[in-house]
Amino acid sequence: MTSAFSSAKLRKALQTTHLKPLKIDTEITRGKATDIAVTPTASGQYLVICDHFLWHRPRKHEDEADRGRVRLIPARDISMLEQLISEYHLHPIVDHFTIALLAFGVAAEFLAAAAALLSRGGTGWLPVWNQKLRNTSLLLMTAGASAAVLSYFTGDIEADRLWDSMSPAAQRILSSTDGAGQYLSHAVLGLYLMYAFLILAVWRVLIEFSPRLARWRIAFLITAGVAVGALLYQGKTGGELVYEHGVGITGASASSQQKSLVSLPRC
């Protein structure tokens, strides 16, 4: 059996809980042809999914016991959201908001801390600007954390859609498996940054409304500064994927896809 369905789409299909297998759960053996009886529960067009492709780019939560099983999944259920995101280019749009909101939010927090340090409890314009900057930081970081969630999920869908059209070099930038380097790859770092900025947003809210936590403001500033540095680095790798490797660019996708297909297994 030969499947033209990409490994990335397969992983997304298996991860989506509302997609139900149509009574097909057949064990297949590597290197042998397997006959499978198909009894769909509803009429329609279906794609044959073979998760042998999971060996191509496995994820940590994938279960070894699930490898080598074949399922049918309605094609329309997989492509609707993917088509929406790719047609309107939602990932780069959301990314720009995420970087701007979080970077300026953290910058406002640093400026507020500097104003508080210079004013030393005195009067004048510095205490006023300290409070204004703190309010601005709270708003921007809360909105930025929400945008980070959208950035991750739109990016994850785009990565799944474009994975098989990427060159091997672009795939390594997106999701490396080389030791410690994998934590700095674009996709993995994006996941960690989403969690980091959600935690930072909650932390910032607690600092604002809990005097006991105000003493941790310096630790918050250091952590937020490191997180923004990582966010800017991730933006750099995203730019490399587009401008150096042509990921998502129609003209470049055709040529890079031919290079990547030679390494893809068949089942």
- Name the pLDDT band for 143 (thresholds 50, 70, 90): very high
* CB < 8 Å & 24+ apart, contacts of 107-116: 108/133, 108/134, 108/136, 108/137, 108/140, 109/133, 109/134, 109/137, 109/141, 109/204, 109/220, 109/221, 109/224, 110/221, 110/225, 112/137, 113/217, 113/221
pLDDT at 204 over 80: yes
For the chain, which residues make up each domain, given as ranges? 7-79, 89-261
Give me the pLDDT at residue 227, please.
Answer: 97
Q: What's the mean per-residue pLDDT of the chain?
A: 76
Round to whole Å and give the CA distance between 57 and 36: 26
pLDDT average, residue stretch 114-135: 86
pLDDT at 20: 40
- What is the average per-residue pLDDT within 102-107? 97
Q: Average pLDDT of 155-172?
A: 91
Question: How far from 243 is each of 25, 134, 199, 248, CA to CA, in Å?
Answer: 42, 37, 32, 10
Cβ burial of 61 (10 Å; 0-12, 13-18, 19+) is: exposed
Query: Between the CA atoms of 113, 115, 117 and 121, what dihedral angle is there, to the nearest 10 degrees?
Result: -120
pLDDT band at 24 (very low <50, low <70, confident <90, very high): low
- Is the pLDDT at 140 greater than 70? The verdict is yes
pLDDT tens digit sequence for 42-93: 666 555 554 433 333 444 333 444 444 444 445 555 567 777 888 888 999 9
Q: Which of 30-34, 126-130, 175-179, 257-261 tops mean pLDDT?
A: 126-130
pLDDT confidence bin for 186, thresholds 50/70/90: very high
The confidence score (pLDDT) of residue 23 equals 52
- Predicted confidence (pLDDT) at residue 113 exceeds the cutoff of 80: yes
Sole residue written with tokens 């708003």: 139
Task: Please write the tens of the pLDDT for every residue from 212-250.
Answer: 888 899 999 999 999 999 999 999 999 999 999 999 886
* Percent share of the chain, pLDDT over 90: 45
What's residue 183's pLDDT? 86
Q: Say if residues 4 and 20 touch (Cβ distance below 8 Å).
A: no
Question: Using 50, 70 and 90 to split pLDDT, how confident is the model at 166?
Answer: very high
Instruction: Please name every residue paired with 74 in a beta bridge, in sequence order, or none if there are none.
Output: 46
